Amino acid sequence: MLVRRMVAGDQSAMAEFYDQTSALVFSLALRIVADHGAAEEVLLDVYAQAWHQAGAYQPSRGTPSAWLLNLTRCRAIDRLRAGRRTPATEQLAWAAEVAADAPSPEALSAAAEHCRLVRQALATLSAELREVIDLAYFGGLSHSEIADQLGQPLGTVKTRIRTAMMRLRNLLAPLNAPLPLLEKDRSR
């Protein structure tokens, strides 16, 4: 498994992990922060964190890609919250000069399919459940911030988020399978 090799300090495993998952990580970061430059910074932070904390990955809690997407979500929300406290005063000129490798057509296709399935699953939720999920996971709001914004009790917001997450988990069970590219590494 690539993550085990990363724990052992194998830089080629990290490069392979990045190649296989970066399109998915970038698209999630961009969806949350809604800024190309900020999404690139989140991407770099996520992979640095994954490299340093690969030993913290627990296979019993999900696939490597799910672990990585959770890191991405947390980093992107942290980025949003930091931006609310201190607005950026200047653009980093060098960021525009950083060359990025384009993801493969297969990776883009897999990411698009994942996005389609997630949108389809979200569409099956009631408007109340979709609203709290959107505010929590894409808006980066805490439970109490959502309760304040919607004028609802905190317990109601927490219950709706939990209900929505349980339904989404069941609907998106096929996405919990390891990425096909990561699966081949297990046979080594």
What pLDDT is recorded for position 41?
A: 92
What pLDDT is recorded for position 127?
A: 92
Return phi, psi of residue 124, to 5°: -80, -15
| 3-state SS record for the chain | CHHHHHHCCCHHHHHHHHHHHHHHHHHHHHHHHCCHHHHHHHHHHHHHHHHHCHHHCCHHHCCHHHHHHHHHHHHHHHHHHHHHHCCCCCCCHHHHHCCCCCCCHHHHHHHHHHHHHHHHHHHCCCHHHHHHHHHHHHCCCCHHHHHHHHCCCHHHHHHHHHHHHHHHHHHCHHHHCCCHHHHHHHCC
What pLDDT is recorded for position 13?
A: 82
What pLDDT is recorded for position 151?
A: 94
- For 172, the domain range is 2-186
55 Cβ contact partners less than 8 Å away, ≥ 6 residues apart: 7
What pLDDT is recorded for position 119?
A: 82
Query: How long is the chain?
Result: 188
What pLDDT is recorded for position 157?
A: 93
Return phi, psi of residue 178, to 5°: -60, 150
pLDDT in tens, the chain (188 residues): 777 888 788 888 888 888 888 888 898 898 899 888 899 999 999 989 988 888 888 888 888 888 888 899 999 998 888 876 544 444 555 555 555 566 667 767 777 777 788 888 888 999 999 999 888 888 888 999 999 999 999 999 999 999 998 998 888 877 666 555 544 444 44
Cα–Cα distance, 27 to 176 (Å, whole number): 18
Return phi, psi of residue 21, to 5°: -120, -10
Residue 157, domain CATH: 1.10.1740.10
Label residue 33 left, alpha or beta by phi (over 0 means left) and psi (-120 to 50 means alpha).
alpha
How many domains does one find in the chain? Answer: 1
